[in-house]
Chain A
Amino acid sequence: MTTIDFTHEIPVIEGKPAASSIDEMVSAPLNQKPGKVWKILFTITVTMLTVGSVALGLTFYYGIGLWGNNQPVGWGFDIVNFVFWVGIGHAGTLISAILFLLRQKWRTGIARFAEAMTIFAVMCAGLFPAIHTGRAWLDGYLFPYPNANHIWVNFISPLLWDVFAVSTYFTVSLIFWYIGLIPDLATLRDRATTKWKKISYSIFSLGWRHSARHWQHYEKAYVILAGFATPLVLSVHTIVSFDFAVSVIPGWHTTIFPPYFVAGAVFSGFAMVQNVLIFVRQAFKLQHIITLNTLEKMNQVMILTGSIVGYAYATEFFTAWYSGNQFEMFTFINRALGPYAWAYWTMISCNVIFPQLFWFKKIRRSILFMFIIGVFVNVGMWFERFVIIVTSLSRDYLPSSWHMYVPTVYDLAILMMSFGLFFTLTLLFVRTLPVVSIAEVKAHVDGAQPVHKGVH
């Protein structure tokens, strides 16, 4: 048995690297020519994106009749994917804002990357409501502006709240991310070797001078933004869940949706971030910045949120029975035993059962196992949204209008496209911007802060 030294916090960054070596390491991928693996991955993701875009183009031309949506299943893959991607985004904000406010230093190495993934995920998410309107070129009307028709949007509709929540979320995440990037861009500017790099980094770093007078306001701004991002991220998935909870469809009309959705969002987002980070730290040799301890902490968050989600599933069942409402009871029995039972049990096993393996420290610290479980969690959380949306809609009140939902090849292609978009952006990101916050990591290396000898 190894003894653990409780008198010292485990250092967030392993091995006390010198500040200049951090610069070296983080900016290395930006200066090298892309390697073979990167090129192959990029080809794959761009192909996914292109094929999906063709399907999307056909959808624009022929209309959403190409999809599997029908009467009564008016929401199919479009909304499933929307909720899934918004959820993925939540991990980034949780890591960058909530863990920042809670002074969880282990977030340092992964915050930048997680924030970038938030932005990409929200872009993927925003795509779906935009295209599911059918005529995406009219989406300008989603925003309240004094238009020639003298009509306003309906401010008390959850669907409009969504418009505000998602666009605010995207904007604030982007600002937060950019603010974090400014000092790093300045560092890159001062290291730039070619003229173009120098010019572009100069422009985007806005002329940052690492001045202590600026750092003072900067740090304040960071706390403020984190303070706003925290309730914001909770509000976003809450509002997404209102899309369902405010309606009267059995299985949707429940008050536990907001917390249940938020927990699920964090759950799936952490799984996604963990999966991608495993590759990134390997590819860019960042093992001592994105440490195994960090990954283990992420897995611990996943047990927590996964258990909350499992508890919510149980609560739903209990409430359905306890309500004595015939339709509610039917809906839940139908979920578990009806025609979509396979989806339900995929969800249960991926979300509730497999993550429990993380109770074992060996599994929690094994890269292979955590990767596989992370993939399972993402599959499971995608199916959760599928189960909620499709089972409730396909069999609601009136048996004569029941109808099964079967996705078409266009649905699948557009889902693939969103993954293509996400990973293409991620791949571009790792080659153009520092994947780790240089300034923050420097500030968290052992010995980076004054030791305050004597009086304070």
Chain B
Amino acid sequence: MENKKIYTVTALFDTPDEITDAAKATAGAGYTKFDINTPYPVHGMEKAMKLKPSYLGYVTLFFGLSGAAFAMLFMSWVSIYNYPLVIGGKPFFSWPAFVPITFEVTVLSAAIGTVGVLIALMFRFPNTAHPLHDTNYMKKVSADKFGLNITSLDPLFDENKIKEFFKGLGGKEIETIYEEDKKAEIKVFDYRFIMTLVLVAIVTAGTTYFVLNKLLYMQPFTWMGEQDKVIAQSESNFYNDGFSMRLPVEGTVARGYLPYEYKGAPDSVIKFISNPLPFTKDIIEKGKMRFDTYCSPCHGYFGQSDSRLHDQFPKPPTLHSDKVRNWPDGNIYNVITNGQNVMPSYEKQISREDRWAIIHYVRVLQRSLNAKDSDIDTSQVKREK
């Protein structure tokens, strides 16, 4: 027994008044490393023990403010820069709508931070190997007694003197508590400790990987997405040729796509094909739409061959050349339908009518860049004197 290290000397008291007085006396006698153990918080104890007020409030403030700032900044970053979504025409930075989440995150981080600091840093828990555990003293203060103990860390510590002091205060069951024999010392380079760390790291990383990259993509039942139908371009065992898609019956002609009857015909014939559409505003507007869709990537919106393809495709010549301007409509029609050198044929993509509408629009473009004086509506112009 003698070679054991003393941890503390304890005494028990019966009533809250006794313990409060004892605490005052102990603090008054100059002891600092002492503690009171009570089954429930006794009012006025921190004053009696001369404790400093708890600084926990500042911890909460810190975590709360960090949570609030993080939430606000994060949502702003997502909504303004990373993933801007137009929702109901509202501005990207709709801060009032960020308030609810900011509030929730504030509360969450403050609560977790406060309790984390409280338990890990202030209490230094978990600690089930403390010398006081499993003692008669602990069992009593856990139920209905009020305990006082002065630890050997106190500069004024002297076992016998303290025992006398406790007797004087009216303490009962005065005992000495020794430190555990083999106080488990934590060695950082213990191989078991390191293996545990490694194991924890592997399990955490593995689980995270599994959850984020596998579990979230696992579909227990995919048939809600799959339906009893043949998908385009897929294989099918139903037909001999193995294709799921069927060719139309031979000789089928899609509406608006009658085959071009002047394929390979000489210019002398082509120039007599005339535009069947009237030159009206509606048609020109439709032609503009089709031109912007099909022709502008290469020819530019105004036919000036300001291609948007950045030289990934040969630049076409301008559509404002004398050549094209003097061409009859039939020639342009021929180019769209058959293609010309590197320009592909648009026979299968643009209906006959739309091709003619485009040609009207091309004429409008050409005229707009080569307006004659006679085009000016003089009645609208005020001449200068």
Residues of A within 8 A of B (CB): 18-20, 23, 60-61, 63, 135, 137-138, 140-141, 144-145, 147-148, 150-152, 154-156, 158, 160-161, 164-165, 168, 171-172, 175-176, 179, 183, 186-187, 189-191, 202-203, 206-221, 224-225, 228, 231-232, 235, 239, 242, 439-440, 442-443, 448-453
Contact = CB atoms under 8 A, between A and B. Distances in A.
B195 interface: no
Given A151-B83, A209-B37, A212-B35, A164 B42 contact: no
Interface in B79-117: 79, 82-83, 85, 87, 90, 94, 97-98, 100-101, 103-105, 107-108, 110-112, 114-115
Most buried by B among A20, A220, A231: A220
A-B complex: 5 closest residue pairs judged by Cβ atoms: A19-B144, A156-B97, A212-B36, A443-B40, A190-B142
Residues of A contacting B: mostly = helix
A218 B122 CA distance: 10
B167 interface: no
Contacts of A207: 125-130, 133
Interface string B26-51: 00000000011111111111100101
B148 to A, nearest CB: 9
B126 A209 contact: no
Contacts of B155: none
A192 to B, nearest CB: 10
Given A23-B143, A207-B128, A225-B111, A442 B54 contact: no
B132 interface: yes
Given A160-B101, A168-B104, A450 B17 contact: yes
21 contacts: A18-B144, A19-B144, A63-B224, A145-B212, A150-B83, A155-B75, A156-B90, A156-B94, A171-B108, A179-B115, A190-B142, A191-B139, A202-B128, A210-B142, A216-B46, A216-B51, A218-B118, A221-B115, A221-B118, A448-B40, A450-B17
A239 B100 contact: yes
A398 to B, nearest CB: 21
Contacts of A203: 126, 128
Contacts, number: 208
A190 B143 contact: yes
Contacts of A216: 41, 45-46, 51, 54
Interface residues of B, number: 74
A211 B124 CA distance: 13
Contact of B49 (A156, A179, A212): A212
Contact of A224 (B20, B46, B56, B103): B56
Given A239-B100, A450-B17, 8 more contacts: A140-B215, A164-B105, A168-B107, A172-B111, A203-B128, A221-B56, A235-B100, A450-B42
B101 A451 contact: no
Nearest to B135: A190
A23 B144 CA distance: 9
B220 A225 contact: no
A190 B111 contact: no
B9 interface: no
Contact of A175 (B40, B115, B132): B115
Contacts of B123: 206, 208, 214, 217
A356 B222 CA distance: 53
Residues of B contacting A: mostly = helix
A149 to B, nearest CB: 10
Contacts of B104: 161, 164-165, 168, 232, 235
A287 to B, nearest CB: 21
Contacts of B83: 150-152
Nearest to A61: B221
A175 B143 contact: no
A172 B143 contact: no
Given A161-B100, A183-B40, A211-B35, A154 B87 contact: yes
B39 A187 contact: yes
B78 interface: yes
A224 B60 contact: yes
A218 B103 CA distance: 24
Interface in B127-186: 127-130, 132-133, 138-139, 141-144, 147
